[in-house]
């Protein structure tokens, strides 16, 4: 009886040993997987920048006249706040880009705080009335039919909704920026807040510059749109036009939008333009 138990125990032990050895062999043959935790904060790895630089170094830029050696260029990216889907790619670009954030959108505050914590400049993308009646307005759009008190109250609410802002740009606003009373009221509020106004120049009849000068605030205006239409080849073409403009004038300001195509082309082209002599800066360095 004892011998039977001994042999049974020995067989069980042998089976366990064989199973363990087979498991080790199978484990060694299996591919290794590494658990990657969810990323809570965005970090730009240096290796990404190096690879990007190598990849585009083989693309020669067209020969142009260079009146200024190291012109300053500011890129303003509009319409942040609707979502945060492109933020990883945006921060991975690794160059100064000024974020223009719409007020009271789902991700407005979150994006503003994250960008500020990383050293980026943030401005408010203020909804202003457009000339076309068929344009969909954002909630909280400042309209020319509002009186000065209504404009002041709404603007103060929207300025308070987005933290860390240094200035204001117009979202749409082709009608509002043509109205001297409206723009003077806006400029008066910005004067008290010590903020600047950046004119996206959606209307050539804009009086924002005159209103800003009268109020004694700093002002800047767009030189070129990069991504209308939203096509990668067109965006690249516009960046080359921006380069030519900057070397001719000594500085230039471009406006683009929070879109996948735009961010992808900027990640590709900005290192190449910087290598060529372009000095990318935040918008506050070019408003006067």
Other beta carbons less than 10 A from residue 258's beta carbon:
25
In the numeric block, which tokens belong to residue 59?
């693309």
- Could you tell me the pLDDT band of residue 58, with boundaries at 50, 70 and 90? low
Say which residue, 75 or 15, is predicted with more confidence. 75
Residue 259 in this model has a pLDDT that exceeds 90: yes
Q: What is the pTM of this model?
A: 0.80
Residue 16 in this model has a pLDDT that exceeds 90: no
Q: What percent of the chain has pLDDT over 90?
A: 77
Q: Which residues contact 150 (CB under 8 A, 6 or more apart)?
A: none
Q: What percent of the chain has pLDDT over 70?
A: 80
Residue 193 in this model has a pLDDT that exceeds 50: yes
Helix (H) or strand (E) holding 79: strand 72-80
CATH code for the domain defined by 46-285: 3.20.20.370
Please tell me the distance from the alpha carbon of residue 217 to that of residue 197, in angstroms, as a whole number: 7
Annotated domain spans of the chain: 46-285
pLDDT of residue 6: 45
In the numeric block, which tokens belong to residue 145?
């039919």
Residue 23 in this model has a pLDDT that exceeds 80: no
Please tell me the distance from the alpha carbon of residue 222 to that of residue 234, in angstroms, as a whole number: 18
Please tell me the distance from the alpha carbon of residue 59 to that of residue 222, in angstroms, as a whole number: 28
Residue 22 in this model has a pLDDT that exceeds 70: no
Distances in Å between the Cα of 10 and the Cα atoms of 4, 6, 77, 85, 117 are 10, 6, 74, 60, 65
Burial state string for 21-42 with b = 16 or more CB within 10 A and e = fewer than 16: eeeeeeeeeeeeeeeeeeeeee
In the numeric block, which tokens belong to residue 197?
């106004």
pLDDT of residue 60: 86
Q: DSSP letter for 285, please.
A: G
pLDDT tens-place string over residues 90-140 = 999 999 999 999 999 999 999 999 999 999 999 999 999 999 988 889 999
Say which residue, 55 or 82, is predicted with more confidence. 82
């Amino acid at each position: 009886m004892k011998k039977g138990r001994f042999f049974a125990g020995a067989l069980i032990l042998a089976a366990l040993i064989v199973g363990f050895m087979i498991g080790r062999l199978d484990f060694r043959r299996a591919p290794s997987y590494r658990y990657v935790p969810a990323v809570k904060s965005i970090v730009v790895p240096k290796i990404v920048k190096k690879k990007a630089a190598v990849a585009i170094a083989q693309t020669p830029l067209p020969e142009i006249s260079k009146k200024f050696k190291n012109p300053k260029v500011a890129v303003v990216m509009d319409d942040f706040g609707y979502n945060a889907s492109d933020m990883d790619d945006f921060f991975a670009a690794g160059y100064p880009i000024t974020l223009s954030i719409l007020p009271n959108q789902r991700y407005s505050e979150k994006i503003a705080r994250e960008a500020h914590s990383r050293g980026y400049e943030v401005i408010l993308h203020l909804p202003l009335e457009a000339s076309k009646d068929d344009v969909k307005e954002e909630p909280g759009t400042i309209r020319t039919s509002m009186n000065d008190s209504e404009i002041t109250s709404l603007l103060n609410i929207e300025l308070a909704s987005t933290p860390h802002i240094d200035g204001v740009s117009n979202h749409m606003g082709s009608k509002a920026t043509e109205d001297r009373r409206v723009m003077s009221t806006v400029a008066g509020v910005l004067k008290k807040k010590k903020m600047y106004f950046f004119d996206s120049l959606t209307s050539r009849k804009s009086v924002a510059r005159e209103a800003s000068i009268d109020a004694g605030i700093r002002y800047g205006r767009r030189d070129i749109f990069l991504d209308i239409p939203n096509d990668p080849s067109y965006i690249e073409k516009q960046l080359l036009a921006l380069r030519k403009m900057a070397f001719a004038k000594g500085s230039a300001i471009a406006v683009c939008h929070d879109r996948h195509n735009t961010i992808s082309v900027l990640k590709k082209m900005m290192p190449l333009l910087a290598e060529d002599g372009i000095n990318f800066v935040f918008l506050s360095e070019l408003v006067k």
